[in-house]
Amino acid sequence: MRKTGELKQFIKVNSTEKGTCDYFSNGIYSELLEVGELLDLFAEFINIFKPDLNGKPLLELIQSDWNLFSGEIECKDILHDILLTLNSKLKPLENVSYVVEILDCILYWKELKEKIEWEKRFLTNIDKLEELGWNIIFEKTFQWSKSEPFYRGSLHYSGNQKEFEKEDMGCPNKN
């Protein structure tokens, strides 16, 4: 689930009526959807959290990282009803953290981002991507042997600039 947009789009596409939502006090007339219609969407999403006394309240973590609801009160009420219907042991105000698999993905994303930005421009080892299941985002992977030439190009922001020299083609300085 991506931030806000996907949930709003889901509601718009699956809504069969319009009116004012019982969860929101703003009185805006919009698409309506029963909470039960969101269960499939939330059943897997809720599984990425685990109880953790040192964590953040579930609704706070969802709002800060995912921004799914327009406000904390609405988030608490809707989340309460969803968790209750799903028979989840989690509560909206219970302290939670992400499960290990999600934390591993977050950590690797930070490492990968740094590596691509400052060290390498290409992935030459995709073992970790495959381990995390990220390889499904690639339609094709290519493997070059060391004997095959591989060329890299860099574009200027302005076409009037002099070409890059070979020694200027690496990663940028961190400074």
Question: d(Cα 36, Cα 61) in Å, to the nearest integer?
Answer: 22
**H helices within 20-141, ranges in order?**
39-46, 58-66, 72-85, 100-118, 127-131
pLDDT for residue 13: 87
174 Cβ contact partners less than 8 Å away, ≥ 6 residues apart: 118
Compute the average pLDDT of residues 55-80: 84
pLDDT for residue 2: 43
pLDDT for residue 25: 64
Sign of CA dihedral 58, 60, 61, 63: positive
User: What is the CA angle 39-40-46, rounded to 5?
Assistant: 75
* Tens-digit pLDDT profile for residues 19-40: 887 777 677 788 888 888 888 8
